A and B are shown apart, each in its own frame.
Chain A
Amino acid sequence: MADPFLSIQHVRKSFGATTVVEDFNLDVERGEFVSFLGPSGCGKTTVLRMVAGFEEPSAGTIVVSGKDITRLKPNQRNVGMVFQAYALFPNLTVAQNIGFGLKVAGMPRADIDARVAEMLGIIKLPQMADRYPYQLSGGQQQRIALARAIAPKPKLLLLDEPLSALDAKVRVSLREEIRSIQKKLGITTIFVTHDQEEALSISDRIAVMYGGKAEQVGTPFEIYNRPATKFVANFVGTLNVLEGTVTDAAAGTVRVNSEQVSLKGKLNGSKSGDTLSLALRPEAISLGRQPGRDSSLSGEISEVHFLGSVIRVRVGIGGNTVSLDTFNSPATPPPAVGEKAEISFSSSDMLVLH
């Protein structure tokens, strides 16, 4: 197997006595789009800043394209970066902003003009060359920041929560645009976000971070459907967590409330009598018994929220509450609070959280 394009090995970062990143490891292939996803303070931006060169790792190495860049200054790394606060130079026009890195590199004027025009075409703002940043909307400013970052043809593109200052509609359109430009140029990209929908929708792989460590690295499908830890399961998507007791470890049966659920092959060394946390995604649960669902639990409807096309129902099962969504059907009225209800699911969809 070929060496990874970006290799972050055993990277640690401490500020005084506080360690914010601990033994972080990640390999990224050329052209890959990897997101760092996690809550505030999990260390995702610190890792990004170490790749950019703004922070020096306390330990570990960062290698890009076979070259160790761990101790290089930011201006020696040939890395592009887009900041959350746009960071366009207020005194320069759009064209001058995009051409800044090229001018610093000593590119001839005619080549700079041609590259700036090409970049403005890529971000679909060819008429904005002579505007100043304050004359642009937030979305336009961030497009210019993206063009400025990729104009010098960097080896690596770093995006530090570039969409978080924008409104919801612009965020969605711009993230699709970022992904399409990244694919077109084939540029290896690291994207930092705390928004799971953003990460799931545009990434090739996601590194879910917590407490300075990568809890899990995988494709969006793997992260969502096969979370490796309790934190990943809770952080990504909505999750119903039920407490269960192992009744027969050999047979793989677990008692939830007063009903038996078969989880053969998922108990991973648990002993009979152990208490487990079991998780189910709302979309894996149906109201009432449904064909193809091998397990069911009985309870009482505690809340019903009519959301238009979807009805969100919460069902109390013993000491647990399970949330599930059903599609609205004009012919069937929504269930009523207090009604007895049965939920069904496939035991294969149930996750055992360790």
Chain B
Amino acid sequence: MKSGKFWAWVVFVVGAAYFFIPLMATVEFSLRMRRGVHSFDAYQVVLGDARFQSTFLFSVIAALCTIILGVLIVVPAAYWIRLRLPQLRPIVEFITLLPLVIPAIVIVFGYIRMYGSNSPLPFLASNWGANALLVIGYTTLSLPYMYRAVDTGLRTIDVRTLTEAAQILGAGWGTIITRVILPNVLIAVLSGAFLTFAIVIGEFTMASLLSRPAFGPYLQNIGANRAYEPAALAVIAFAITWGCMSLIQILSRFAPKSANRPN
């Protein structure tokens, strides 16, 4: 038993070293811009760059739009499948997993062919259309995470009985979803939202191939032409991702507690 514990610690330390050493090296390298001393010069340059601000803002707005679209699609769909169409669950789960299997580049080439300026739905003929297509693409990419988060949240409540309790009290579908179901899965929805945010902020393929001024292509561009700034950007992107994960953990403590606790 003791030897088992020892090896568990060894595996943990090796895993932690594999994860943290490159990270620490990146952080350390990002601080070396000024010769001979550690400084935040690289961060100052990056944060002061107008392109950083505009691309980051673009990606944040794209992420928020993706989250809204994702919630509007996934919450009613997952709710309805749990309530009325449980037999469709395996099929829907399979469909939501497809973005993990099909590379983003395949999806985006499909979009370009389907929605090019000569197609019946010429999304790519205008900036707004291309932005909308980007958000739709991001929603597809985030589907595995958003669907699973919401479905897990729905599993913790008695969807059918709560729905019936609200119905018998006079509530229609809109009231049931907004005042009964959504508040009870809000923490799960927020978990999905932060995962979506983390994915969208660093996404490169779709934004680049659709020629959108997003943060991912900016990261790539800086990485190809500068030395210290890419390291600073990597640390910033990493901090944003970790910040999102931490928020998920914090928010999960505020989830409504199940009331089904018979005597």
Q: Which residues of B contact A152 (CB under 8 A)?
A: 169-170
Q: Which of B168, B184, B261 has the most CB of A within 10 A?
A: B168
Which one, A79, A88, A104, contacts B175 given CB within 8 A?
A104
A330 contacts chain B at the CB level, 8 A cutoff: no
**B80 shortest CB reach to chain A, Å:** 16
Name the one of A75, A78, A88 contacting B259, with C-beta atoms under 8 angstroms.
A88
A87 to chain B, nearest CB (A): 4
Residues from chain B with Cβ under 8 Å of A85 in the complex: 158, 161, 260
Q: Mark B153-183, 1 if CB is under 8 A from A, else 0.
A: 0000110011011111111100100001001
- Whether the Cβ atoms of A73 and B167 lie closer than 8 Å is yes
Please name the residue on chain B nearest to A165 by beta carbon: B262
- How many A residues have CB within 8 A of the partner chain? 38
Question: Does B258 make an interface contact (CB < 8 A)?
Answer: yes
Output the nearest chain A residue to B183 by Cβ-Cβ distance.
A91
**Min CB–CB distance B171 → chain A (angstroms):** 5
Query: Do B168 and A89 touch (CB < 8 A)?
Result: no
- What is the chain A residue whose CB lies nearest that of B260? A85
A334 at the interface (CB under 8 A from B): no
Q: For the complex, is A81 an interface residue (Cβ under 8 Å from B)?
A: yes
- Judge whether A218 is part of the interface by a CB distance below 8 angstroms: no
Determine whether A86 belongs to the interface, using a CB cutoff of 8 Å to chain B.
yes
CB-contact partner of B165 in A79, A87, A134, under 8 A:
A87
Cβ proximity bits A138-174 to B, threshold 8 Å, 1 near / 0 not: 1101000000110010000000000001110010000
Chain A residues with CB under 8 A of B256: 90-91, 132, 134
SS of B interface (majority): loop
Contact check: which of B158, B171, B262 meets A104 at CB < 8 Å?
Answer: B171
Q: A74-B167, A81-B165, A148-B169 are in contact. Are A90 and B257 (CB under 8 A)?
A: yes
Known: A87-B158, A90-B157, A91-B184. A104 touches B167 (CB 8 A): no
- Say how far A100's CB is from chain B's closest CB, in angstroms: 5
Q: A90-B256, A90-B258, A134-B257 are in contact. Are A81 and B168 (CB under 8 A)?
A: yes
How many angstroms from the CA of A79 to the CA of B165 in the assembled complex? 11
Q: Please tell me if A212 contacts chain B, counting CB pairs below 8 Å.
A: no
Number of interface residues of B (CB under 8 A): 25
- The answer to whether the Cβ of A52 comes within 8 Å of any Cβ in the partner chain is yes
Q: Tell me, yes or no, whether A5 is within 8 Å of chain B by CB.
A: no
Per the bound structure, the CA–CA distance linking A136 and B262 in Å amounts to: 10
Q: Select from chain A the residue with minimum beta-carbon distance to B185.
A: A91
* C-alpha gap A101/B158 in the complex (Å): 19
Q: Decide: A134 near B259, CB < 8 A? Known: A85-B158, A85-B161, A90-B184.
A: yes
**Contact mask for chain A residues 101-121; partner B; CB cutoff 8 A; 1 contact, 0 none:** 100110000000000000000
- Tell me if B263 counts as interface (CB < 8 A to partner A): yes
B166 contacts A100, C-beta separation under 8 Å:
yes
**Which of B165, B170, B184, B261 sits near A83, CB closer than 8 Å?**
B165
A90 contact set on B, CB distance < 8 A: 157, 184, 256-259
Given A88-B259, A89-B180; A101-B164 close (CB under 8 Å):
no
B-contacting residues, A55-83, CB 8 Å: 73-75, 77-81, 83
With A101-B169, A104-B170, A152-B170 as given contacts, are A89 and B184 in contact (CB-CB < 8 Å)?
A: yes
Chain A residues within an 8 Å CB radius of B258:
90, 134
Q: A54-B164, A74-B164, A81-B165 are in contact. Are A86 and B259 (CB under 8 A)?
A: yes
| Contact status A104-B261, CB under 8 Å | no
- In the complex, which residue of chain A has the Cβ closest to the Cβ of B186? A91
A127 at interface, CB cutoff 8 A:
no
Residues of B within 8 A of A309 (CB): none
Question: Given that A90-B256, A137-B263, A141-B259 are known contacts, is A79 also in contact with B171, CB under 8 Å in the complex?
Answer: no
CA gap between A232 and B169 in the complex, in Å: 35
Q: A residues near B, CB below 8 A?
A: 52-54, 73-75, 77-81, 83, 85-91, 100-101, 104-105, 132-134, 136-139, 141, 148-149, 152, 165-167, 170
List 19 extra interface pairs beyond A81-B164, A90-B259, CB under 8 A.
Answer: A52-B164, A52-B168, A54-B164, A75-B167, A85-B158, A87-B162, A88-B165, A89-B166, A91-B180, A91-B183, A104-B170, A104-B171, A134-B256, A134-B259, A134-B261, A136-B259, A138-B261, A148-B165, A149-B169
Nearest first, the 4 A-B pairs at minimum CB distance are A133-B259, A101-B169, A138-B263, A165-B262
Question: Which B residues are within 8 Å of any A CB, using their own CB?
Answer: 157-158, 161-162, 164-172, 175, 180, 183-184, 256-263
Chosen A-B contacts, 30 in total, with CB atoms closer than 8 Å, are A52-B164, A75-B168, A75-B171, A75-B172, A77-B168, A81-B164, A83-B161, A85-B260, A86-B260, A87-B161, A90-B184, A101-B169, A104-B170, A104-B175, A105-B170, A132-B257, A133-B259, A134-B256, A134-B257, A134-B258, A137-B263, A138-B263, A141-B261, A148-B169, A149-B168, A165-B263, A166-B262, A166-B263, A167-B263, A170-B263
